[in-house]
Amino acid sequence: MVVVLLIHLALLAAMMMSRAHKPEPPQRAVDVVMLQEIIPEEKIAETPPDIAPPTVAPPPLVMPTLPVLDIVPDAIRSPAPAPVPALAVAPPPPAPAPAKEVVTSAPPKIFEECAEGSDRRMIADVYRLSVGNQSVSEIRRRKPIKRVCMAQLDITPRSFKEGFPGLGSTNEWFGLDIRFTVTIQETATYQLMLLADDGAVLSVDDENVIDNDGIHVPTPVATTLKLEQGLHNFRVRYFQGPGPDLALMLAWKKPGATDFGYIPRSLIGRPPAGSLSPILAKE
């Protein structure tokens, strides 16, 4: 706009100067056209419309198969349980009584005194043997110092520390001469087994049938013997070397049996009195 006005003023001044030197021309009407500068309008950037992301269809919902429930009609439904009455607070329990001392019975002893009427029918004479002895044969050269009774030859391998009644802690270098009878109910062939630690010899009717003598760990020796019906004298000579472990087991297997078993105590009896040696009062 300013430029246009300046141009107009310049033209006007020129015209006035020309009029001073020249005769005034006839007046003419001059139309002045005012030019208006057109300022272009700024275009406002149009915001692109929000384009939503492509819609992904959700996977179909798989409903699990539910079990069929049996609906019980109201007429046969169980009535609602009655409210539980409040319980009275119980008094505190009385103080426990002092624990009583538990008395356990001691296991039966292997050897006991030979009392009259005792059910221990095996009679064993006890011998002291020399240190380093290797055989039951030394028993024949000595006199018994004690007589004890046994119920069964079932001494499994164990530690022997109790000794013999009246002999203190005798648990090594001793010998036993054990005598008893066995009643055979029917004539048959039997298997006999003698296990010992250390040495032992089994005799039936004064005949040696099993020799398991010597110093060794628990070792079984078996034999087969035909026994006639009736009463038979059994004898087991045994010696214990270095202690404290010992073992002495006598078992048999009757015809038709699959395993060895101990001779029933009902078949065992006391030996004849004449077969026993006199006992020394003092060694």
- Residue bearing the bigger pLDDT, 186 or 75: 186
Residue among 153, 182, 181, 110 nearest 250 (CA): 153
- Confidence check: pLDDT of 283 > 90: no
Which pLDDT value is given to residue 18? 64
Which pLDDT value is given to residue 123? 96
- Residue bearing the bigger pLDDT, 234 or 1: 234
Q: Please name the CATH architecture into which domain 122-274 falls.
A: Sandwich (2.60)
CB 220 within 8 A of CB 191: no
Grouping H, G, I as helix, E, B as strand and the rest as coil, residue 162 is coil
- Confidence check: pLDDT of 68 > 70: no
Beta bridge partners of 192: 223, 252
pLDDT tens per residue across span 46-67: 555 555 555 555 555 444 444 4
Give the CA distances from residue 170 to residues 63, 129, 160, 173, 200, in Å, rounded to whole numbers and listed in that order. 87, 11, 9, 8, 18
pLDDT tens per residue across span 120-136: 999 999 999 999 999 99
Non-local CB neighbours of 100 within 8 Å, separated by 6+ positions: none
Grouping H, G, I as helix, E, B as strand and the rest as coil, residue 209 is strand
Beta bridge partners of 222: 193
Residue among 279, 248, 268 nearest 118 (CA): 268
Please give the Cα distance from 189 to 226 (Å, whole number).
Answer: 4
Amino acid (1-letter code) at residue 267: L
pLDDT tens per residue across span 79-91: 455 554 554 555 6
Which pLDDT value is given to residue 276? 82
Amino acid (1-letter code) at residue 28: R
Is pTM, for the whole model, over 0.75? no
Which pLDDT value is given to residue 116? 81
